[in-house]
């Protein structure tokens, strides 16, 4: 996958740099905050190669990429200065009516947008903590300097979490990261902790509540948010050297007391309240709480609001050393997705679906990355999605009954099961194993019981028979095709050629994906444009990636917005990785069905990589075309001369 081209197409679809306020990424999706959320069209974004899906949630426009999201994010960040305030003076955010929904969405956006960038730190420190626990189980003394340093590494990220989170939140809220870190550093200063050890204290006779702020989330978020609201005032009233000297001084002198007296205690109250609320739900309803949360986890992930549970988890990890909500429900849900995808891979007759289901099942089981399985397999087939919710719910019920605990904030999967190891409760890891087995087994059984409508694929035996029965005319066509140079693409469809610029989709018409032509087909078949290899067949079968033996790469995108059909009306007769000859049948599609459903059947034929050639020559952009019509040719400078 060429994520440089994905990033370029994504930038264009989102309204270019001036419409992007901030961009971050989590484990599987890029999270955009846009000035105008009406600009991107969901189906256009979904049609971009490399994009699995989109979600609008919590004030964010979320683009789901999958396991390769860090690669796509790096390519995207090369295209502009996102998140640095670029464009803010040109266009101010749209003011919306304040409602309970917008407030809740804003809070979730603040939490997810601030925590997502520091998740690698949290995961790394959590795993180091677990390493110390495992070493103790093997009899390593906690007095050894090496062991103590390992413990320090694991604890550092959590002890100084308010400072680290403040820097991330400052980028999210658009205020000074240095001042945000200085303010929150006060909360974990050793001398303040020593004062709190003696009880409540005061500042200018204002009461300061003694509490512990290490490992907390909400106080740092609230303090940084207040900074983002007050800092612009000082920027307006102060200029020059006065601003340089007195702005940070006054912010600290005013901000620290305000934080200690109001913001931090309020934040600690909220954070502890969330943790206590979760604990109360478990004590009141027992395993039913985890059963419901585990079953609903895929929907929570789809909405992108699973980060709302992170503050409660971090509070518990920092105070009592373990959590009983987030880790168990994610373990149940992740392995349920893996199991459902594995069953589909085992029973499906569709080669493309089998390949996708296999890789996505491994991804979910080994690394806990479920979006490929969720969007590419279970949700697409519907019934396996229901089966995964049933399996996760059953596993969650067991986890809730036995009180399963996780001791680190790490995405639960087979390789991270160590997060359930406890020196005090040896059976906890066995509870985790049983939870995993229940999730896998129940989901597998329910997937097979409920079944699914398997996308049909023409058997290879039929293809071989069709080849043997080829008519004399078809043989003549192949002989004629062999005379066409390999630097030339022929039309993959029969119909009427039109310039790519006339396609009624800006992503294709603008040429951002590459040069090419479009065909309005009058038949139901797609042919190979030259000798080469099928590089990819999209999950929804509406597009095919192709690489010529000459090196050029092409995408054939059938119709506009046809991704919404989820494969209905499309029947590939080749598989990804298969070698083909020019004019060989690649795919059948139902033109009448597409038009009856209201779709534009204009098919874009785009060269996405012209290497090893230096430029392209469009040989035909109008008139009638059949599979022998030459449409595109790769050229070098020597040929120009």
Beta bridge partners of residue 212, listed in sequence order: none
Tens of pLDDT, residues 384-417? 999 999 999 999 999 999 999 998 878 788 888 8
207 and 309 part of one domain: no
Give the residue from 402, 430, 450 where a domain finishes: 450
Average pLDDT over residues 64-68: 76
Taking the C-alpha atoms of 79, 80, 82 and 84 in order, what is their torsion angle to the nearest 10 degrees? 150
493 and 633 part of one domain: yes
DSSP 216-271: -SHHHHHHHHHHHHHHHHHHHH--HHHHHHHHHHHHHHHHHHHIIIIIHHHHHHHH
State yes or no: pLDDT of 126 exceeds 80: no
Q: Which two tokens stand for residue 409?
A: 């904030």
Rounded CA gap, 54 and 65, in Å? 9
Secondary structure letter of residue 95 according to DSSP: P
Q: Report the pLDDT value the prediction gives residue 459, as an integer from 0 to 100.
A: 46
Beta bridge partners of residue 20, listed in sequence order: 34
Average pLDDT over residues 304-319: 71
Q: Is residue 141 part of a domain?
A: no
State how far the alpha carbon of 367 is from the alpha carbons of 3, 79, 163, 347, in Å. 22, 30, 29, 23
417 and 469 part of one domain: no
Residue 187, domain extent = 160-285
Q: Report the pLDDT value the prediction gives residue 90, as an integer from 0 to 100.
A: 36
471 and 444 part of one domain: no
Q: How many CB atoms lie within 10 A of CB 279?
A: 16
Q: How many CB atoms lie within 10 A of CB 276?
A: 13
Give the residue from 220, 252, 285 where a domain finishes: 285
295 and 387 part of one domain: yes
Structure confidence at residue 309 as a pLDDT band (50, 70, 90) = confident
Q: Is residue 116 part of a domain?
A: no
Beta bridge partners of residue 618, listed in sequence order: 632
278 and 417 part of one domain: no
267 and 319 part of one domain: no
| Domains: count for the chain | 4
Q: Is residue 372 part of a domain?
A: yes
State yes or no: pLDDT of 456 exceeds 80: no
469 and 494 part of one domain: yes
Give the residue from 416, 450, 484 where a domain finishes: 450
Burial classification of residue 324, based on how many CB atoms lie within 10 Å of its CB (0-12 exposed, 13-18 middle, 19 or more buried): buried
Q: Is residue 132 part of a domain?
A: no
Q: How many CB atoms lie within 10 A of CB 32?
A: 25
Average pLDDT over residues 419-424: 85
Q: Is residue 467 part of a domain?
A: yes
Q: Compare 102 and 111 and report the one with higher pLDDT.
A: 111
Q: H or E stretch including 25?
A: strand 20-25
Tens of pLDDT, residues 6-51? 999 999 999 888 888 888 776 677 888 888 888 898 888 888 888 8
What percentage of the chain carries pLDDT values higher than 70?
A: 87
399 and 526 part of one domain: no
CA atoms within 13 A on the CB side of 221: 23
Rounded CA gap, 507 and 505, in Å? 6
Rounded CA gap, 334 and 340, in Å? 10
Rounded CA gap, 433 and 427, in Å? 10
Tens of pLDDT, residues 185-222? 998 898 988 888 888 888 888 888 877 787 777 888 88
Q: Is residue 172 part of a domain?
A: yes
Q: Is residue 457 part of a domain?
A: no
62 and 32 part of one domain: yes
State how far the alpha carbon of 608 is from the alpha carbons of 352, 433, 464, 611, in Å. 22, 46, 31, 9
Max intra-chain CA distance, the chain: 100
Structure confidence at residue 87 as a pLDDT band (50, 70, 90) = very low
473 and 345 part of one domain: no
Selected catalytic residue, list 26, 72, 175, 530: 26
57 and 74 part of one domain: yes
CB-CB contact of 556 with 508 (8 Å): no
State yes or no: pLDDT of 174 exceeds 60: yes
Burial classification of residue 240, based on how many CB atoms lie within 10 Å of its CB (0-12 exposed, 13-18 middle, 19 or more buried): exposed
DSSP 3-state percent helix, strand, coil across the chain (nearest 5): 55, 15, 30
Rounded CA gap, 485 and 214, in Å? 69
Tens of pLDDT, residues 329-364? 999 999 999 999 999 999 888 887 888 889 888 888
Question: Residues in the chain, how many?
Answer: 641
Q: Is residue 114 part of a domain?
A: no
CATH of the domain at 30: 3.30.1360.60
557 is annotated as an active-site residue? yes
CATH of the domain at 467: 2.70.70.10
State yes or no: pLDDT of 287 exceeds 90: no
Average pLDDT, the chain: 82
26 is annotated as an active-site residue? yes
CA atoms within 13 A on the CB side of 159: 11
The most confident of the ranges 98-107, 224-233, 276-285 is 224-233
């Amino acid at each position: 996958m060429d994520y440089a081209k994905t990033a370029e197409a994504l930038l264009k679809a989102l309204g270019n740099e001036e419409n992007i306020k901030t961009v971050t990424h989590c484990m599987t999706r890029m999270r955009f905050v846009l000035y105008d959320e009406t600009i991107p069209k969901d189906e256009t974004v979904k049609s971009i190669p490399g994009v699995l899906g989109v979600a609008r949630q919590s004030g964010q426009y979320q683009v789901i990429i999958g396991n390769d999201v860090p690669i796509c994010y790096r390519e995207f960040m090369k295209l502009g200065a996102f998140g640095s305030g670029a464009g803010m003076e040109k266009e101010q955010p749209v003011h919306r009516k304040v409602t309970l929904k917008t407030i809740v969405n804003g809070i979730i956006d603040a939490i997810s947008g601030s925590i997502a960038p520091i998740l690698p730190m949290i995961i790394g420190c959590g795993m180091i903590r677990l390493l110390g626990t495992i070493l103790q189980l093997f009899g390593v003394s906690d007095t050894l300097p090496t062991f103590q340093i390992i413990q320090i590494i694991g604890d550092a990220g959590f002890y100084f979490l308010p400072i680290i989170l403040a820097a991330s939140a400052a980028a999210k809220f658009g205020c000074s990261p240095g001042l945000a870190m200085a303010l929150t550093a006060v909360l974990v200063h050793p001398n303040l902790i020593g004062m709190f050890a003696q009880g409540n204290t005061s500042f200018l006779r204002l009461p300061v509540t003694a509490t512990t702020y290490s490992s907390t989330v909400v106080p740092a978020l609230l303090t940084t948010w207040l900074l983002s609201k007050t800092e612009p005032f000082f920027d307006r009233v102060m200029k020059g050297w006065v601003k340089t000297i007195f702005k940070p001084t006054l912010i600290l002198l005013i901000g620290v007391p305000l934080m200690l007296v109001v913001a931090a205690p309020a934040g600690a109250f909220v954070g502890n309240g969330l943790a206590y609320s979760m604990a109360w739900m478990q004590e009141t309803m027992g395993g039913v709480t985890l059963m419901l949360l585990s079953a609903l986890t895929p929907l929570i992930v789809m909405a992108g609001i699973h980060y709302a549970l992170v503050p409660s988890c971090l509070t518990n990890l920092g105070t009592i050393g373990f959590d009983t909500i987030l880790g168990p429900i994610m373990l149940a849900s992740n392995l349920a997705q893996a199991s459902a995808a594995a069953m589909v891979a085992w029973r499906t007759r569709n080669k493309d679906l089998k390949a996708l289901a296999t890789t996505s099942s491994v991804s979910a089981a080994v690394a806990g990355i479920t979006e490929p399985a969720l969007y590419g397999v279970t949700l697409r087939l519907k019934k396996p999605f229901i089966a995964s919710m049933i399996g996760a719910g059953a596993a969650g019920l067991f986890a809730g009954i036995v009180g399963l605990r996780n001791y680190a904030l790490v995405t639960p999967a087979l390789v991270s099961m160590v997060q359930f190891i406890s020196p005090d409760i040896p059976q906890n890891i066995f509870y985790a194993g049983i939870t995993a087995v229940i999730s896998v087994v129940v989901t597998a059984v329910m997937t097979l019981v409920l079944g699914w409508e398997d996308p049909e694929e023409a058997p290879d035996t039929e293809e071989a028979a069709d080849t043997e029965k080829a008519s004399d005319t078809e043989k003549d066509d192949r002989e004629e095709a062999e005379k066409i140079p390999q630097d030339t693409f022929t039309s993959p469809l029969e119909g009427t050629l039109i310039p790519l610029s006339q396609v009624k989709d800006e992503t294709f018409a603008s040429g951002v994906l590459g040069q090419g032509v479009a065909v309005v087909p009058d038949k139901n078949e797609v042919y190979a444009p030259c000798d080469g290899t099928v590089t990819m067949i999209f999950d929804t079968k509406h597009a095919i990636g192709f690489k010529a033996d000459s090196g050029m790469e092409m995408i054939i995108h059938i119709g506009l917005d046809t991704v919404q059909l989820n494969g209905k009306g499309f029947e590939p007769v080749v598989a990804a990785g298969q070698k083909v000859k020019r004019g060989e049948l690649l795919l059948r599609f139902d033109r009448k069905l597409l038009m009856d459903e209201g779709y534009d059947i204009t098919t874009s034929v785009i060269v996405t990589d012209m290497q090893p050639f230096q430029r392209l020559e469009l040989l035909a952009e109008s008139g009638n075309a059949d599979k022998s019509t030459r449409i595109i040719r790769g050229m070098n400078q020597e040929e120009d001369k």
